[in-house]
A = this chain, B = another copy of it.
Amino acid sequence: MKNRLLLLPALLGLSMTILAQRPPAINSPEVHPDHSVTFRYFSKKAGKVTLNGEFLKAPVALTKDTTGVWSVTVSPVTPDIYPYSFRVDSVELADPNNTYIFANERFKRSIVDVPGDKPLVHALQNVPHGKISYRLYESATLGTSRQLLVYTPPGFDPNGKTKYPVLYLIHGGSDTEETWTKVGRANLIADNLIAQGKAKPMLIVMPYGNVRPAPMGDFTKDMVNDIVPFVEANYPVVQDSKHRAVAGFSVGGGQTLNIGLTNPDKFAYVCAYAPYTATDEFKKNFTNWSPNADALNKQLKLFTISVGTDDFLYEPVKQNIAMFNEKKVVVKPLVVPGGHTWMNCKLYLANTLPQLFR
């Protein structure tokens, strides 16, 4: 995880033929003790290089030294994990010297981890670690093999007497099944909160949520008819609604509302993070929705909607919350600073986990 070795080929003197094809290895990003960060990019030919990052209000320019190394040092930033990218003339790209990529289908960004002076909730700490398994399942709904990730907590015994609860955790619309671990650090957040006694040991299942042509309705079917049965056939889990939670971000937050609120007999915990709900499926399910609020409120142990005040979905999310209030469905809002970002996703998840399966 740490101490990635960027200079290895140079240290080994690996074939000059190969090396000649590659730019020199440089250290980027370099995080300093005061939480400032230096970003570097090598190019003798570029005319202009800028840095864009979710810790910046606007892109900043890098300056070139005589050896072709462009660099900029940004002021101390609040410790967190941030996406960033370079723009080199007309081209936006991930940092060539950074191994850590934002798992996404629509853009290539790098991520930089600015550690806190005390370990943050998503930091790799010296606590027992769970593991992440990459599994293939057959989706009868979608007629294909799909991959999902399963976090199992420390001490997990697939054949032991302990039966676990399960959180089904869905990524955003152009993310992948890896985004919740690679960017959201869901596994480390769970490790840390479980070690502190703040979260119950649980499985976290992270499916691939992108489905065509009906991302909402068909994914609900995939979840209910394929994913949950696959998990329950292969893991020692409690098979009732009080031991199933569904959560998701953005498009995955919309999927969460559709999946959870149309199946309250299956999921007693429904946690939508900045949900995107401008979809036909949401309209179909909720425009003329007249739930038996009392019954639903009894079925749902937790229904929460989280959003940041700078999120571009802040207004529609507030309207959604108002709609649920109007229908007397008890929803617990979490409104915090921040935008439609994975920094906020980590915060939402860390807020959710202690409330699950109580």
Contacts and interface: CB of A to CB of B under 8 A. Distances in A.
B99 A105 contact: yes
Interface stretch (A17-25, A239-247, A288-296, A321-329): A17-25
Interface centre among A5, A6, A131, A276, by most B CB within 10 Å? Answer: A5
B135 A131 contact: yes
A342 B132 CA distance: 25
Contacts of A210: 4-5, 8
A251 B8 CA distance: 10
Contacts of A106: 6, 9, 22, 25, 97
Contacts of A6: 105-106
Interface in A159-179: 159, 173-174, 176
Which range holds the interface residue count of chain A?
Answer: 35 or more
Interface string A26-48: 00000000000000000101100
Nearest to A128: B136
Contacts of A135: 129, 131
A185 to B, nearest CB: 12
Contacts of A14: 173, 251, 276
Interface stretch (A75-83, A112-120, A140-148, A192-200): A140-148
Contact of A12 (B9, B96, B279, B313): B279
A90 interface: yes
Interface stretch (A211-219, A265-273, A330-338, A346-354): A211-219
A97 to B, nearest CB: 8
A135 B15 CA distance: 32
Contacts of A93: 91, 93-94, 96, 108
Nearest to A158: B158
